[in-house]
Structure formats: structure tokens, C-alpha cells
């Protein structure tokens, strides 16, 4: 049979283990990783947006310059060339539309890829955090059960000592 001092020491050790386990359940690392991924997503999307806008502005400037050159040419040319110019304008508009559409599709695709990649990483980090928390809960439950057993043992030993001391007293 264990003596009371030994049971109290084991109980203190169990309480210490409980405190250490509770202290190790911090999700600060996971929160920091989530924050880093959010920042990465925002920076990547901002860079994609800036690149898209810069390319759009460059195209707009180039188109404006091309329109000005065409206008000057048109003033110098006669009616025979006017029909050909109308066809050129229609081709230019179709090409610009196609370029804009391709650029926009590229931007949409890259944005979607970034979103999917970051979402997958976020899910991984959240799953890992959940596993850590569940493991900690299981450890706490085990320690709590151990503490209850030891507390019962201490109470039983105290009761036995009390009963034993009462049986020996000459009343």
C-alpha cells in the first residue's frame, strides 16, 4: 500500500503535467502561419492587379497613339482608301477585344490559382491545429483520470489511517 506522502507527490506531479499540457496548447504558431498566408495572398493578388492595370494602361496608350496616326493618314487620303480604312478599324477593334479578353482571362486564371493554392494551405494549417488541440484534450483527459485515481487513493489511505488510529485508541 502507498503512503500518503507518496500519493501527494504523485498528485503534485500529475498537476504539474496538467499545467505543462495546457501551456503547450497554444495555437500562436498556427495563427502566425495563417497570417503569413493571408499576407502572401494579398501581396500576390495586389501584384497581379498592378500588372494587369499596367498592361491595360500600356495597351490603352499604344492604342491611342495608333488611333492618332490613323487619323492623320485619313486626312491625307482620298475616298478610295476610306473603305479600306473602315475594314482596318474593324480589325483593330476585334484584335483589341481579343487581346483584352486574353489578358482578362489570364488574370482570372492566375487569381483563381492563387486563391486555390492559399485556400489549400489554410485548410492544412487549420487541420494541423485541430489535431494538436484534440491531442491535448486527450492528454488532459488522461491526466484528469489519473488525478482522480490518486485523489481517491489519498482519501482511502487517509480513511484507513483514521480508522486504524481509531481502533488503536483506548476509549
pLDDT, one tens digit per residue, over 32-73 is 888 999 999 999 999 999 999 999 999 999 999 999 988 887
Q: Can you tell me the distance from the alpha carbon of 161 to that of 1, in angstroms, rounded to the nearest whole number?
A: 12
Is pTM, for the whole model, over 0.85?
no
pLDDT on residue 76: 74
Q: Say yes or no to pLDDT of 171 above 60.
A: no
Domain boundaries, the chain: 4-160
Which element (helix H / strand E) includes 59?
A: helix 28-76
Residue 46 grid coordinates: 495586389
**pLDDT, averaged across the chain:** 87
* Residue listed under C-alpha cell 503547450: 24
Amino acid at each position: 500500500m502507498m503512503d500518503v506522502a507518496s500519493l501527494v507527490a504523485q498528485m503534485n506531479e500529475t498537476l504539474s503535467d496538467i499545467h505543462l499540457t495546457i501551456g503547450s496548447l497554444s495555437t500562436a504558431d498556427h495563427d502566425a502561419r495563417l497570417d503569413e498566408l493571408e499576407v502572401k495572398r494579398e501581396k500576390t493578388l495586389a501584384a497581379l492587379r498592378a500588372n494587369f492595370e499596367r498592361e491595360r494602361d500600356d495597351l490603352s496608350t499604344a492604342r491611342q497613339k495608333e488611333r492618332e496616326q490613323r487619323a492623320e493618314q485619313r486626312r491625307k487620303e482620298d475616298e478610295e482608301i476610306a473603305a479600306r480604312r473602315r475594314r482596318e478599324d474593324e480589325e483593330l477593334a476585334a484584335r483589341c477585344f481579343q487581346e483584352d479578353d486574353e489578358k482578362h482571362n489570364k488574370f482570372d486564371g492566375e487569381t483563381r490559382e492563387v486563391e486555390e493554392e492559399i485556400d489549400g494551405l489554410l485548410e492544412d494549417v487549420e487541420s494541423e491545429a485541430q489535431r494538436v488541440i484534440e491531442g491535448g484534450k486527450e492528454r488532459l483527459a488522461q491526466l484528469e483520470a489519473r488525478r482522480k485515481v490518486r485523489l481517491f487513493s489519498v482519501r482511502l489511505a487517509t480513511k484507513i489511517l483514521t480508522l486504524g488510529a481509531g481502533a488503536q485508541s483506548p476509549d
